[in-house]
Amino acid sequence: MYSILVCDDEKDIVNALDIYLKSEGYNTILAYNGIEAIEKVQEQEVHLIIMDIMMPVMDGITSMVKIREHSNIPVILLTAKGEDTDKILGLNVGADDYVTKPFNPVELMARVKSQLRRYMMLGGGKINEKNICIGGIELDDTAKKVTVDGEPVSLTPTEYEILHLLMKTPNKVFSPKEIYAKVWKDNPYGAESTVAVHIRHLREKIEIDPAKPDYLKVVWGHGYKMEKKKPLDKITM
């Protein structure tokens, strides 16, 4: 589960964002000025920050600059209409995106998901030792849950076991017979067609475009793998 820090001196906005984010399955951390935001980032694991610019004690831009000294956590700034100077300054000193108040919750959630996807694809964030994380896909083997870009995904037990097998050893190619033997624990007779059906269903649930998968790849003539991009691959446009 991704943790999102919400920082705004207006408690009504913080409370509203808390509700929106929790309804989308995110964990929330709340702060009401820039100094509190810095303290929260130092104390807890944070995957994304939503922060107002104009706040007492310490403003959002100053806080973000200090956070940027030690972290590349994505930051979405909340700005009031007409604050174009602050908006441009914020982007120039390290903000990843901005949303103008009053904001549309649907638009904000879309921006949150986009920034989290980019952050995790570029290898950002700490991984819970109990979890396996590849890009935007996170598998919690303790809770037997899977999320994609922070959203829960419903998998059958067999789909879960296939995904777990592939994610445990990213970039390793498993033949259909190997997958069948490890997941079904049976003689892999007719494994190719059975495994192919489950792989197709998995792609439909975890890939943005199942026809052009980013993660669950086929290696023709050999089998399937969960692709974890190398650092140089990740910056290719």
Single residue among 95, 121, 147 that ends a domain in this structure: 121
Whether 61 and 166 map to the same domain: the answer is no
Q: For residue 1, what are its two tokens? A: 């589960």
Rounded CA separation 81/86 (Å): 11
Residue with the two structure tokens 């990213």 = 170
Residue 229 lies in a domain: yes
Rounded CA separation 33/30 (Å): 10
* CATH number of the structural domain spanning residue 171: 1.10.10.10
Q: Report how far apart the first and last C-alpha atoms of the chain are (Å, whole number).
A: 28
* Range of the structural domain that residue 62 is part of: 3-121
Give the three-state DSSP class for 99. strand
Q: For residue 99, what are its two tokens? A: 């949303």
* pLDDT, average across residues 99-111: 89
Residue 126 lies in a domain: no
* CATH number of the structural domain spanning residue 99: 3.40.50.2300
Closest CA to 192 of 177, 170, 182: 177
Whether 141 and 206 map to the same domain: the answer is yes
Query: Tell me: the pLDDT tens digits for 156-205?
Result: 999 999 999 999 888 999 999 999 999 998 887 878 899 999 999 999 99
DSSP state of 174: B
Single residue among 68, 90, 121 that ends a domain in this structure: 121
Share of the chain above pLDDT 70, in %: 90
CB 116 within 8 A of CB 48: yes
Rounded CA separation 135/123 (Å): 7
- 87 CB burial (10 A radius; 0-12, 13-18, 19+): middle
Whether 148 and 107 map to the same domain: the answer is no
Residue 213 binned pLDDT confidence (cut-offs 50, 70, 90): very high
Whether 60 and 151 map to the same domain: the answer is no
Closest CA to 48 of 131, 140, 115: 115
Rounded CA separation 204/171 (Å): 20
Whether 157 and 229 map to the same domain: the answer is yes
Task: Indicate if the pLDDT at residue 86 is higher than 80.
Answer: no
Residue 83 binned pLDDT confidence (cut-offs 50, 70, 90): low
Closest CA to 21 of 118, 135, 103, 132: 103
Tell me what pLDDT residue 231 has: 39
Tell me what pLDDT residue 232 has: 33
DSSP state of 104: P
Residue 82 binned pLDDT confidence (cut-offs 50, 70, 90): low
Residue 233 binned pLDDT confidence (cut-offs 50, 70, 90): very low
Look over the chain and give the mean of its residue pLDDT values, rounded to a whole number. 86
Tell me what pLDDT residue 93 has: 77
Rounded CA separation 163/149 (Å): 16
Whether 194 and 226 map to the same domain: the answer is yes
